[in-house]
Structure 1
Amino acid sequence: MLFLGLGIILLALKYLEFGAVAEWSWWIVLSPFAVAVAWWTWADWSGYTKKRAMDRENVRKQARIDKSREALGLGIKKRK
């Protein structure tokens, strides 16, 4: 997401001909988009995206379990 934001900012600066970016080549200005595509391709291929999603779901699931146990007065059990 960082590279996408950087690419949008550089694209706007190049289009508006603002500062030193106006003199840069279009290849340099558009390169953050290529890096973002490469990152997303690698993240999907390696399973990084799926692992992050599963980690978020596990944290939400554990929070629901802890909240339910506390509501029932059972307390929160510590994992070993």
Structure 2
Amino acid sequence: MWLIGIGVVLLLLKLTAFGPVGEWSWWLVLAPFGLAVLWWAWADSSGLTQKRAMRRMEEKKEARREKALEALGQGEKQRRR
């Protein structure tokens, strides 16, 4: 995501001809967008995106389980007594 942010900033600087970025080549200004596409392609093909999604799902599931146990009075605090 940070590559997209850098790309947007560089694009705005190029369009407004602000500072030295205004004189840079368009290839250099648009390069972060291409790098972001390459990153996303690699992350999807390597399974990184799916692993992160599964980890978030497991964390949510565990939080729901803990909340349900607390509501039943069988949570972490009750087990310590």
Q: Same fold (TM over 0.5)?
A: yes
Percent of paired sites with the same residue: 56
User: Does structure 1 residue 65 correspond to structure 2 residue 65?
Assistant: yes
SS at match of 1:73: coil
| CA drift at 1:43 | 0.5
Structure 2, unmatched stretches of 5+, are none
Render the CA deviation track for 1:1-58: whole Å, top value 9, x for unaligned: 1101110110111011001101111111010011000000000000100110111110
Matched, 1:19 2:19: yes
CA distance in 2, matches of 1:25, 1:75: 60
Query: 2:6 matched to which residue of 1?
Result: 6
Deviation at 1:75, TM superposition (A): 1.9
Gaps of 5+ in 1: none
Which residue does the alignment assign to 1:32? 32
Query: Matched residue pairs, number?
Result: 77
Alignment of 1:45-56 (within 5 A): 45-56=45-56
- Give how far 1:74 is off: 1.1
Deviation above 2 Å: which 4+ runs of structure 1? Answer: none
